[in-house]
Amino acid sequence: MGRKVVALNVETLDLLPAPCRQCVFWELGPKARPLGSEEAGLQKEAWLSSIVLEWGAAGHVLLVDGAPAAYSLYAPARFLEQATSQAARPVSRDAVLLATLAVWPPFEGQGIGRALLQAMARDSVLPHPDRLPGGVWLPGSAGAPALSPATHGSPYRPAMEGCA
C-alpha cells in the first residue's frame, strides 16, 4: 500500500467527502452556513484560501494508493472561530489547534491518524517564509503572533451528523 500525505488546500478540498467539504463548524463557528449547503462549501473554500495566504496549509489529506483515507484540519486558534466558543479552558490565540482528524473506517488501526498528527507537528515547527526555525515568527510579518506557536490538544467537539 502506497501512502502519500498532501497539503489540504483549495486544490485538494475535493478529496474530502461532501459533508466534510461543506462543513465550516470550526472555521466560522456561529457565522457558518448550514452543514452540507453549497454556501458552506463556498465558505470553506474562502477560508482555506485566506489561511493559506496568511499562515500556510491548514491540514493534510492522506492518500492510500491514490485514494483519500484520512484528513486533518488545524490552524492557529485565532483562525478557528469555534475555538473561542468551547466550554473548555481558553486556547491561546497563537496555539496551533487540531480541529478535525478523520480516518475513513476501512483504514482505521493502520497508523494513519498517527501519520497525520506527525505531519501536523512537523508543520508547526518547520520554517515558513515568515517564520524563523522553531516556529518563531519574524516581527512584523503578516499574522505574526506575539508568542511562538505551540501545539495544544483539541477541545471537546460535539458530534455533528455527517461531519467528522
DSSP string, the chain: --EEEEE-STTTGGGS-HHHHT--HHHHGGGPPPTT-HHHHHHHHHHHHHHHHHT---EEEEEETTEEEEEEEEEEGGG-GGGGG-SSSPPPTTSEEEEEEEE-GGGTTSSHHHHHHHHHHHHHHS--TTEETTTEEPTT-TT--SS---EEPPPP---BTTB-
**pLDDT per residue over 56-81, tens digit each?**
889 999 999 999 999 999 988 888 88
In a domain, 99, yes or no: yes
> Grid coordinates in use for 23?
462543513
In a domain, 19, yes or no: yes
> Grid coordinates in use for 129?
517564509
Whole-angstrom Cα distance, residue 9 to residue 15?
Answer: 10
Please give the pLDDT value at position 132.
41
**Cβ(89)–Cβ(79) under 8 Å?**
no
Residue 135 has pLDDT above 50, yes or no: no
In a domain, 117, yes or no: yes
Tell me the mean pLDDT in the region 5-30. Answer: 90
Range of the domain at 11: 3-152
In a domain, 123, yes or no: yes
In a domain, 48, yes or no: yes
Residue 155 has pLDDT above 50, yes or no: no
Tell me the mean pLDDT in the region 15-24. Answer: 90
In a domain, 20, yes or no: yes
Average pLDDT, the chain: 77
Residue 43 has pLDDT above 70, yes or no: yes
In a domain, 158, yes or no: no
Tell me the mean pLDDT in the region 81-108. Answer: 82
pTM > 0.85 = no
Q: What percent of the chain lies above the pLDDT cut of 90?
A: 37
Residue 133 has pLDDT above 60, yes or no: no
For the chain, the domain total comes to 1
In a domain, 162, yes or no: no
Instruction: Name the band, by pLDDT with cuts 50, 70 and 90, for residue 83.
Output: confident
